[in-house]
C-alpha cells in the first residue's frame, strides 16, 4: 500500500504577477530536469524513477532563467531529520491499538445522580443503597434550629465505603451546612444535626460519595414560615461569645445500660456549647454582613488513636448543636473529640467505651 501523502492542488493567487499566464517550459528546462534527476538518484540509491507519475516538472514564467536549487529530498531531510513516512496501513493499525488501550468511553465519576426523597423508597435496591435517607420536618417553626437526620444502609468496608456527606441548601446566604467525612470505623453512615434555614420553601440536598460507585444525592423540601428564618445571626464581639464550653460526649447505649459487644454499633452524641453565627442581617431585601462569621470549623473523632470521622462545619449550623453519629465498637477503649472554631480556639473531650 503506498504511503500517505497530502495531495492538494496549489492555490491560485491572482494578485501575484503572472499567476494567470499560461505556464510553459522556461529556457534550459531539459538541463534542469536531468540535473535534478541525478541528484535524486544520489540521495536515494536504487531508485531510478522520477517523482510522481509524470516525472519532475518546473513551473516558471516564460523567458526567465531558473537558477540551480537544492534537491527536494535534501530539503525534506534538513527540515525533519530522521522523519519517517508511515504507510496508511500502519497509521490505521496504530489508531486501532490506541482505541483498545483507552477502552470504551465512560461517563465522568463527578456526575451526581439525584432523586427526590419521595422517590427513594421506589427505586431498585442498588440505587436505594447509595441514596441518603433524609429526614426533615415538612414545616419548621424555627429556622434557626431545624433538625436534620441522614441515614444510609451502604456497606462500610475498606475499599467500598461512603466517605463523604455534604449538606446544602442552595437558596440560603450560607448554603453549606457542613461536609462530613466517614471511615469504615464508623460502621454505618448516620448523622443527626441542627441547621439554619431561611424563611420560605427550601430544597435541602444531601450528597453522598461512594468511593466505588460515585456521587448520589437526595433532595427533600422543607418550609420555614415567613418571619421565622434563621440565617440572620450577627456574631458576638470577641471575648463575648456567650457560654462556650468544651464538648460533652455520651454514648446512648451506655446511658441505657445496654450491653455492648464487639462489632455492635453505638450512638455517640457530642453536645457543643458554642454559637454559630453567619454575621449577616436582612436589610432592604438583601443580606448584609455586619460582622465576621463566628462558628465551629472542625470536629475530629478518634477511637483510641484511630481516626474515625472529620466534620467540616460552617456558620450554617445552629447554635449549641447536638451532633450524633455511629461507631462500631471493636474493643473497650476511649472516644476522643477535638473541636476548633473560626478564631483558632481548641476544645477537647473524651469518654470511655466499655465493651464486654
Helices (H), the chain: 29-43, 72-79, 88-102, 125-130, 252-255
Confidence of residue 237 (pLDDT cuts 50, 70, 90): confident
Confidence of residue 236 (pLDDT cuts 50, 70, 90): confident
pLDDT at 78: 42
Pairing of strands 112-116, 214-224: parallel
- Lowest-confidence region among 60-74, 220-234, 285-299, 331-345: 60-74
Q: Which of 252, 316, 255 is nearest to 280 (CA)?
A: 316
How far apart (Å, rounded) are the C-alpha atoms in residues 49 and 351? 93
The residue-averaged pLDDT of 4-31 equals: 45
pLDDT at 243: 79
How far apart (Å, rounded) are the C-alpha atoms in residues 135 and 321? 17
Name the region of 178 (left: φ>0; alpha: ψ -120 to 50; beta: rest): left
If you write DSSP's letter for every residue of 285-318 in order, what string do you get?
TEEEE-S--B-EEEEEEEETTEEEEEEE--TTBP
Radius of gyration of the chain (CA): 37
Mapping DSSP to helix (H, G, I), strand (E, B) and coil, where does residue 48 land? Answer: coil
The residue-averaged pLDDT of 21-27 equals: 45
User: What are 105-133's pLDDT values in tens digits?
Assistant: 333 446 899 999 999 999 999 999 999 99
Which position has the higher pLDDT, 100 or 291? 291
Confidence of residue 101 (pLDDT cuts 50, 70, 90): very low
The residue-averaged pLDDT of 221-237 equals: 93
Phi and psi torsions of 219, nearest 5°: -115, 130
Task: For residue 340, count CB atoms less than 10 angstroms from its CB and return exposed for 0-12, middle for 13-18, buried for 19 or more.
Answer: middle
User: Which grid cell is 1?
Assistant: 500500500
Distance of CA 117 to the CA centre of its chain: 24
Nearby residues of 108 by Cβ (< 8 Å), 6 or more positions away: none
User: Which grid cell is 250?
Assistant: 455520651
pLDDT at 60: 43
Confidence of residue 300 (pLDDT cuts 50, 70, 90): very high
User: What are 29-61's pLDDT values in tens digits?
Assistant: 445 444 555 555 555 454 444 444 444 444 444
pLDDT at 229: 96
What Cα–Cα distance (Å) separates residue 134 from each residue in 107, 148, 152, 237, 302?
A: 27, 7, 9, 35, 26
Which position has the higher pLDDT, 224 or 28? 224
pLDDT at 42: 54
How far apart (Å, rounded) are the C-alpha atoms in residues 241 and 235? 8
H/E stretch holding 147 = strand 146-151
**Mean pLDDT, rounded, of the chain:** 80
CATH fold of 112-353 reads Immunoglobulin-like (2.60.40)
Task: For residue 271, count CB atoms less than 10 angstroms from its CB and return exposed for 0-12, middle for 13-18, buried for 19 or more.
Answer: middle
How far apart (Å, rounded) are the C-alpha atoms in residues 120 and 188? 19
pLDDT at 182: 99
Domain boundaries, the chain: 29-102, 112-353
User: Which grid cell is 275?
Assistant: 454559637
Could you tell me if 182 and 165 are in contact, meaning their C-beta atoms sit under 8 angstroms apart?
A: yes
pLDDT at 317: 98
- Per DSSP, 121 falls in state G
How far apart (Å, rounded) are the C-alpha atoms in residues 103 and 177? 39
First CA to last CA distance, the chain: 79
User: What are 167-200's pLDDT values in tens digits?
Assistant: 999 999 999 999 999 999 999 999 999 999 999 9
Amino acid at each position: 500500500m503506498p504511503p500517505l501523502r497530502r495531495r492538494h492542488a496549489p492555490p491560485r493567487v491572482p494578485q501575484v504577477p503572472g499567476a494567470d499566464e499560461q505556464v510553459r517550459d522556461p529556457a534550459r528546462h531539459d538541463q534542469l530536469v536531468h540535473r535534478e534527476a541525478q541528484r535524486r538518484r544520489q540521495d536515494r540509491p536504487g531508485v531510478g524513477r522520477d517523482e510522481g507519475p509524470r516525472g519532475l516538472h518546473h513551473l516558471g514564467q516564460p523567458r526567465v532563467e531558473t537558477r540551480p536549487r537544492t534537491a527536494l529530498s535534501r530539503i525534506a531531510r534538513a527540515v525533519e531529520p530522521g522523519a519517517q513516512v508511515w504507510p496508511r496501513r500502519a497509521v490505521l493499525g496504530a489508531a486501532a491499538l490506541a482505541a483498545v488501550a483507552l477502552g470504551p468511553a465512560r461517563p465522568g465519576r463527578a456526575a451526581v445522580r439525584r432523586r427526590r426523597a419521595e422517590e427513594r423508597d421506589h427505586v431498585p435496591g442498588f440505587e436505594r443503597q447509595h441514596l441518603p435517607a433524609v429526614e426533615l420536618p415538612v414545616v419548621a417553626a424555627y429556622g434557626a434550629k431545624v433538625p436534620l437526620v441522614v441515614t444510609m444502609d451502604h456497606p462500610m468496608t475498606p475499599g467500598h465505603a461512603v466517605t463523604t456527606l455534604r449538606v446544602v441548601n442552595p437558596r440560603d446566604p450560607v448554603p453549606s451546612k457542613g461536609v462530613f467525612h466517614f471511615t469504615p470505623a464508623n460502621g454505618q453512615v448516620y448523622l443527626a444535626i441542627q441547621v439554619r434555614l431561611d424563611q420560605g420553601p427550601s430544597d435541602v440536598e444531601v450528597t453522598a460519595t461512594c468511593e466505588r460507585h460515585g456521587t448520589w444525592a437526595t433532595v427533600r423540601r422543607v418550609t420555614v414560615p415567613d418571619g421565622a428564618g434563621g440565617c440572620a445571626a450577627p456574631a458576638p464581639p470577641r471575648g463575648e461569645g456567650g457560654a462556650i464550653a468544651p464538648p460533652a460526649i455520651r454514648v446512648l447505649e451506655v446511658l441505657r445500660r445496654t450491653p455492648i459487644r464487639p462489632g455492635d454499633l453505638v450512638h455517640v452524641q457530642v453536645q457543643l456549647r458554642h454559637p454559630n453565627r453567619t454575621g449577616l442581617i436582612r436589610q432592604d431585601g438583601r443580606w448584609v454582613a455586619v460582622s465576621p462569621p463566628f462558628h465551629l470549623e472542625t470536629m475530629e473523632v478518634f477511637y483510641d488513636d484511630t481516626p474515625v470521622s472529620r466534620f467540616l462545619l460552617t456558620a450554617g449550623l445552629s447554635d449549641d448543636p447536638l451532633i450524633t453519629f455511629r461507631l462500631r465498637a471493636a474493643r473497650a477503649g476511649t472516644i476522643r473529640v477535638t473541636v476548633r472554631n473560626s478564631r483558632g480556639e481548641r476544645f477537647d473531650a473524651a469518654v470511655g467505651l466499655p465493651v464486654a
